Chains A and B, each alone.
Chain A
Amino acid sequence: MKNLLNDLNKAFENKVRLGIMAALVVNEYLDFNSLKELLGVTDGNLASHLKSLEKSEFVSVRKEFLNRKPNTKYSATEEGKTAFTKHIKAIESLLK
């Protein structure tokens, strides 16, 4: 039981962060607006959670210009994908 709880990642305790990771794991990349629409959160809220995921190196950011407008693409890093899968597996076995 102790081991299972250790696998639960503190970085994913928050719902928004969990949602961000879920969306990025199944997509090559998503831009800020698609993430916002998908999760139904405010700009500031999303930005701060993205920042914290970026800090723990679970999410990588690429800034580009699309027709002179800045466009930011977010994708999950390999590390982030592994951590996310581990977290989900821990929840699943916790429920069994």
Chain B
Amino acid sequence: MLRFLVRRTLGALVILLIVSMITYALFFAIPADPARLYCGKVCTPENLALIKHDMGFDHAWPVQYWNWLSTIFTGGTFNGVHCGAPCFGYSFDKKELVGGILLDRFPTTLSLTVGSAVVFLVIGIGTGMLAAHKQGKAADKIASSFSLLASSMQIYVAGPLALWALCYSTDLLELPTYVPFTQDPLGWAGGLLVPWIVLSLIWTANYTRMTRSSMVEQLSEDYVRTARAKGMSGTSVFMRYAWRGAMGTIVTVFGIDLGVLLGGAIITETTFSLHGLGELAIHSFRDSDLSLLVGVTVVAATLIVFFNIVVDAAYALIDPRIRLA
């Protein structure tokens, strides 16, 4: 296991290096001039040159990339602000260090993701198991229909509708906002309730369908039939064998989903005016804020790669038939 983790971590570092390099290359492939965005309405050539110099845009992109990479290990000073190693650069648009901005935004995305994940996992897996257990009966049909309907919904439709129904016109729930958990746990939950509800509505459907189909598949396996033939009760077979067998698929998909969600729930955060990594990604692209764009991209890639490793490790622990190669 240790060898596996070391090997995968080294592989992940190479992937992140490639991702950051590609982000740099793509950024410079667009013929826009970010320095112009920071210049005034009547932008003098002198001001433009000063801005380009301050931002480091007066070098070729490979040199800029190298400077960015070395700054991670050596630190640097930007716009009068010192950035100690590990330093991920400076956002000239926000006038803050990239590392600080990312740390500031991450808890919002984490809270949004973890809260909704708890809800959609519990309800999704529960409903999926129920549907599998009551295969072909009314409960199964209702769960399947609901899952089909909910999985067709998109956040940009469900989000504004929920906001209108629950917040704007009725005042039933408070407007989405992020309050740190450590500061006010109730305020934290209350402020994220509407996004959790909407995200759960959409994601629950996937987990219901997935759990149901995995369970049904497991229930038709030979070893389940054998267990039944040996006189094991239906509930025991369902919970001890079929459930454990289905877990592998669910953990795999959940691990990847969690990585994607944490990497930046772009539409969700924009819909609910939440200031997480997703919203930051949109802003950094819109404002041609290269340091921030690379920072968000690398964080998102790190989370996805990390959860892939976790999933692989967890898979081996859950299913003894799987061995880490």
A binds B: no
Which residues in B have some Cβ–Cβ distance to A below 8 Å? Answer: none
